[in-house]
């Protein structure tokens, strides 16, 4: 099986890896039921409490926020994961982060787990808890607990319930983020599905994003964690909207083994297939997050080639998509490529600055800025046309090695300020 590279499109990855896109999102894998209900936390006519449940205990892998300030649900999950290698359910609320809420916040996280366990007939420590929304406001716990009890009564493996769950975890997102694929592993069809939320406070090393992935693959916990960490490095850690990170971000994968493939216990071909499929799911969700950046009008894919190491390529790409000046230039459709190379210089990476080549491409054509360190003249009208499109790819060619990586981001608009200026009110 061919292993996908960082610069392949999602369609190319799907084709080279023999992945099949399927409907159903997070409910697509065998043995998972989900729901999303309106509990009134956000005072909107949309779901704001979600449940994700495996019919059998599932092997779990997770990664949490790198922010020193960690919300109560994150602390609850860290405790559970330090003691358990399998869990059965994830409960999520949006509209309130339950962060910086003191001892009461931990009480509320415990109550969310306890109510979920009681409603599903599970042990308390089989439940992961997640929250997202406004920081520093006590959780309206009675609404949340009533929502959990309601959600437990309407669990299903249907696509509409997956959509409800994906909606229930959103905050400033403008659309749901879902994906599901199948791949053949050991003669069995394995399915991986996922949902995510994220629109603002998005930055490398994760951010105010949540991602939940389910799979019916049978895989050892250590290898599931390894696959997740490597996948996150090339997906959620390679996106930036605004340079801020949050107190609540997490990504969790549940693998219940109901596909009945031979247990993946070593880094063999089966593991490679699983990891590629997981990478496809996480990269798709990460790109959807970047495209839905708060107030965004452009989706930027920045590929760095010819770096000395993959880590260098990643750092340079992240520096470009994280730059407020670069993002503002793309919003203004201004071909100010000097901001791009200036951002590269802040990445802490040594590279030959005298031989850099750079192009921007959209459906309106290609715009070559720099070739082997020599600035190239370009037509401003053509440049404006190329940069007027929503999807723009920037390719940066170095001469320091053979490594490459792609980072994703968006522009920085007036609307971003408007959204965040009145987010709490």
As annotated, the active-site residues are: 208
**Residues 6 or more apart from 393 whose CB is under 8 A from it?**
300, 301, 302, 303, 360, 361, 362
Q: Which of 211, 218, 267 is nearest to 239 (CA)?
A: 211
Task: Report the distance separating Cα 106 and Cα 98, nearest Å.
Answer: 9
| Alpha carbon distance 358, 54 (integer Å) | 48
User: How are strands ordered across the β-sheet holding 239-240?
Assistant: 239-240, 403-410, 299-307, 391-397, 357-362, 365-371, 374-375
Q: Is 412 exposed, middle or buried (0-12, 13-18, 19+ CB in 10 A)?
A: buried
At which residue do the structure tokens 């490594």 appear?
403
First to last CA, the chain: 51
Q: Give the count of beta carbons closer than 10 Å to the beta carbon of residue 328.
A: 15
What does the DSSP 8-state code read for residue 36? Answer: E
Q: Are 397 and 317 in contact (CB under 8 A)?
A: no
Q: Which residues of 227-237 are buried (b: 16+ CB within 10 A; e: fewer)?
A: bbeebbbbbbb
């Amino acid at each position: 099986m061919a292993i996908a590279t960082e610069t392949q499109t999602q369609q190319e990855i799907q084709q080279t890896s023999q992945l099949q896109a399927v409907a159903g999102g997070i409910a697509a894998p065998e043995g998972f039921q989900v729901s999303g209900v309106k509990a009134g936390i956000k005072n909107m006519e949309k779901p704001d409490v979600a449940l994700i449940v495996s019919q059998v205990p599932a092997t779990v892998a997770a990664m949490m926020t790198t922010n020193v300030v960690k919300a109560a649900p994150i602390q609850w999950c860290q405790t559970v994961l330090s003691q358990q290698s399998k869990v059965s359910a994830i409960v999520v609320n949006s509209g309130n982060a339950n962060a910086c809420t003191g001892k009461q916040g931990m009480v509320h996280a415990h109550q969310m787990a306890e109510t979920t366990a009681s409603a599903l007939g599970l042990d308390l420590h089989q439940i992961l808890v997640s929250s997202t929304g406004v920081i520093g406001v006590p959780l309206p716990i009675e609404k949340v607990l009533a929502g959990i009890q309601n959600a437990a009564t309407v669990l299903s493996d249907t696509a509409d319930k997956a959509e409800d769950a994906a909606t229930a975890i959103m905050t400033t997102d403008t659309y749901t983020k879902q994906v599901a694929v199948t791949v053949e592993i050991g003669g069995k069809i394995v399915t991986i599905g996922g949902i995510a939320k994220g629109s603002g406070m998005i930055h490398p090393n994760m951010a105010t994003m949540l991602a939940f992935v389910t799979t019916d693959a049978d895989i050892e916990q250590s290898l599931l964690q390894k696959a997740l960490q490597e996948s996150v490095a090339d997906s959620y850690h390679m996106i930036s909207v605004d340079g801020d990170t949050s107190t609540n971000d997490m990504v969790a994968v549940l693998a219940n083994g109901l596909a009945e493939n031979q247990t993946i216990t070593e880094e063999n071909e089966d593991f490679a297939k699983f990891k590629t499929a997981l990478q496809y799911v996480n990269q798709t969700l990460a790109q959807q997050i970047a495209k839905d950046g708060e107030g965004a009008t452009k989706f930027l894919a920045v590929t760095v080639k010819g770096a000395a190491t993959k880590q260098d390529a990643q750092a340079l790409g992240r520096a470009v998509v994280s730059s407020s000046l670069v993002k503002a230039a793309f919003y203004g459709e201004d071909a100010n490529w000097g901001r791009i190379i200036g951002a590269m210089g802040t990445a802490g990476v040594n590279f030959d600055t005298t031989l850099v080549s750079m192009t921007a491409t959209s459906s309106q054509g290609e715009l070559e800025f720099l070739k082997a360190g020599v600035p190239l003249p370009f037509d401003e009208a053509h440049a404006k046309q190329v940069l007027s499109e929503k999807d723009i790819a920037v390719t940066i060619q170095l001469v320091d090695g053979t490594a490459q990586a792609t980072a994703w981001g968006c522009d920085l608009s007036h609307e971003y300020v408007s959204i965040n200026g009145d987010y709490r009110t």
